[in-house]
Amino acid sequence: AELAAIAEDADQVVLLHNAARHDGDSVGNLAAENFRQVLQVNLVAPQQLNALLIPLMKPGSAILYMGSTLSEKAVAGCASYIASKHGVIGLMRATTQDLIGSGIHSACICPGFTDTGMLRGMLGDDPAVLAGITGMVSFGRLIDPAEIAATIWFCASSPVINGSVIHANLGQIER
């Protein structure tokens, strides 16, 4: 009831699916229960929120998904995250098709190496590791979270990107 009241007063609702779980796992050691938990956070919960909020959203609203550079490629050691982030793009594409005619648009923003607590926690304090990561980016630096926020704002207010995968990664160097 409270959500309905908020949505009723809003001209535009932007639903941003940003929560994620990233485990260190591989296809050889990924337990079914852990895989289910990652999929719950990264894919099932966003769809549950969609089901609750889409009926309350007016034309001009947006449903945005946070993907990753790993939404379209893979590296070793994070099988469940990669599988779920590939699924996020699929869910965004299904959202786009299912909402044709509603005036609600959708996109998936795929950030690269962003200077967040999650990334810093995985990198540790080793300057050599940080240099290795920034060496894989054409601009030679981490992405500032404010840059991703500006990208989200652009996507939220630009229906022209409906159905798009937005690569917000400073031009990662493929090796």
**Over the stretch 142-170, which tens digit does the pLDDT of each residue have?**
999 999 999 999 999 999 999 999 999 99
pLDDT tens by residue, 85-115: 999 999 999 999 999 999 999 999 999 999 9
In which band, very low, low, confident or very high, does the pLDDT at 1 lie, cut at 50, 70 and 90?
low
The residues with which 108 forms a beta bridge, in sequence order, are 65, 165
pTM, two decimal places? 0.92
Say if residues 100 and 139 touch (Cβ distance below 8 Å).
no
- Highest-confidence range of 117-126, 156-165, 166-175, by mean pLDDT? 156-165
* Length of the chain as a residue count: 175
Residue 12 to residues 8, 65, 109, 154, 163, Cα–Cα distance (Å): 10, 17, 19, 14, 18
Domains of the chain: 2-9+20-168 (3.40.50.720)
pLDDT tens by residue, 19-61: 999 999 999 999 999 999 999 999 999 999 999 999 999 999 9
* Mean pLDDT across 127-133: 90
Say if residues 102 and 145 touch (Cβ distance below 8 Å).
no
